[in-house]
Amino acid sequence: MTDRTSPLDRFTSFEGVTVVVIGDVMLDAYLQGHVSRISPEAPVPVVKHARDRFTAGGAANVALNAVALGASARLIGVVGDDQAADQLRAIAEQAGVSCRLLGLKGGETTTKTRVLAGAHQVVRIDREGSNALSAEDEAALIALFEQALDQADAVIVSDYAKGCLTDAVLAAVFDRAREVGVPVFVDPKRPDFSAYRGAAYIKPNRSELAGATGRRCDDDAAVGEAARQVVDQTGANLLVTRSEQGMAFYGVDGEAILLETEAAEVFDVSGAGDTVMAAFALGVASGLPVVRAMRLANTAASIVVSKAGTAVVSAAELRTVLNHQDQRDDHRDGLILSRADARAVRGAWRDQGLSVGFTNGCFDLLHPGHVALLREAASHCDRLIVGLNSDASVRRLKGETRPIQSEGARAEVMAAIRHVDAVVLFEEDTPYELIAALEPDVLVKGADYQEHQIVGADLVRAKGGIIIRVELRAGHSTTGLVDRSRTPSA
């Protein structure tokens, strides 16, 4: 057997990828100092000013993150007629961003000023003009977008509800991008996500998802139900960021991927969502499977929250951390794949001349019999994919009291087994369609099934593959475990 490492390409940078970022730009200002006394005028600290620092925020921070990761970024937004606009433009252009900012005569650039005493934020002061766009302004902004769209690989809409993304502008963005076949990624702020119909991907956080659906999003099941509501409403794939619980992807094809957060010391969460948006969009636009793009975004977020203030993550930083993770966990992260991603990974394995095996089951309560089956299956192939019945599928097959563990928990446990190289959830009662999509070289099932009873055996045989029937280990079954747990001991 060959070395069982990740089939996904190592990250280097997103050089060669061009992204258009359109949305609400802002200037982040930091007034830094220290506190040594309380004011005699009121019970508030006196901050002795030491220095100022300015960074790009909002859509501008998304663009800076994209450039830091090696991509080319074209930034479109609205600024005022003030010094803050000049500062913001200078910061972005110095970082390598191509700025196409519409200046509003007499307008005010959104500026967030944070007063810091050491590492602690004392107060934030926001300066925001109304900056209402006229029909002429909208037309000018749309023209800037159309020019920037040439040869672009992705569009990121960064909505901070500051007035740039009017209904007319959003509609034009989706229409023009669709005409040239460029996917649109949205970081939403509006409470009504139907405004983003036309996007390929929408990235709300848990709070934004709850607000858009009117549902509580306190656990995985609730988040999943709310996400499906949005997917049905918008026709877009959904990437839900869940703070310390990581992120979850819900595809238009019904697939779901859960990814835990990377452990990190949190210093400042300012702009972390911008970093996730940039990394994920660039990953997908560069052709990576969704789960790989999620892992990149997840890791990038773990880096940026350890930095002070609004910050970016460089390609070198991300590469270093990812390499460390690969060495640490023997490539076990990110192996829970959607059907489409699994097919892409299977293609990569095929190109490397590797044989691919497949087995499936509910795997509700993992026991030694399961482990023996997986070990034997892995011995007959270079890579092993496990098809896992979704919760709904298990209920139809086993009854309303099953599964004991959620599909997310079962997938996570399965992905941690060293014999397993990928896990794919399927909603159907049988894995027939999944097997047809993956075209495995080896199909493995327990010997309690005759070959003619094994779902997908005909497909595998037709492609020249082999069927392996594994003798089961006596005395081990999930049903038996459940029954024993319900029987009082003597």
* Boundaries of every domain in the chain: 18-34+44-332, 337-486
Name the more confident of 407 and 483: 407
pLDDT band with cut points at 50, 70 and 90 for residue 433: very high
- Cα–Cα distance measured from residue 282 to residue 275, given in angstroms and rounded to the nearest whole number: 11
208 annotated among ligand-binding-site residues: yes
Q: Does residue 6 have a pLDDT over 60? A: no
Q: How far apart, in whole angstroms, are the C-alpha atoms of residue 184 and residue 197?
A: 10
Distance CA 290, CA 378 (A): 25
pLDDT digits (tens, 9 = 90+) for 20-76: 999 999 999 999 888 989 999 999 999 999 889 899 999 999 999 999 999 999 999
Residue 179 annotated in ligand binding:
no
The torsion defined by the Cα of 178, 181, 182 and 187, in degrees rounded to 10, comes to: 40
- Does the pTM surpass 0.85? The reply is no
- CATH domain 337-486 topology: Rossmann fold (3.40.50)
What is the model's pLDDT at position 323?
A: 66
358 strand-pairing partners: 385, 443
Distance of CA 315 to the CA centre of its chain: 17
DSSP code of residue 133: P
Q: Give the whole-angstrom CA distance, residue 358 versus residue 127.
A: 58
Report the alpha-carbon distance of residue 282 to residue 50 in Å, rounded. Answer: 38
| pLDDT > 70: percent of the chain | 89
232 labelled catalytic: no
pLDDT tens digits for range 75-86: 999 999 999 999
Of 24, 153, 187, 274, catalytic: 274
Residue 76 is predicted with a pLDDT of 98
Tell me whether residue 243 is annotated as binding: no
- Residue 473, annotated ligand binder? no
Rounded to whole angstroms, how far apart are CA atoms 450 and 407?
28
CA distance 97 to 140: 20
Structural domain 18-34+44-332, CATH architecture? 3-Layer(aba) Sandwich (3.40)
Average pLDDT over every residue of 270-278: 85
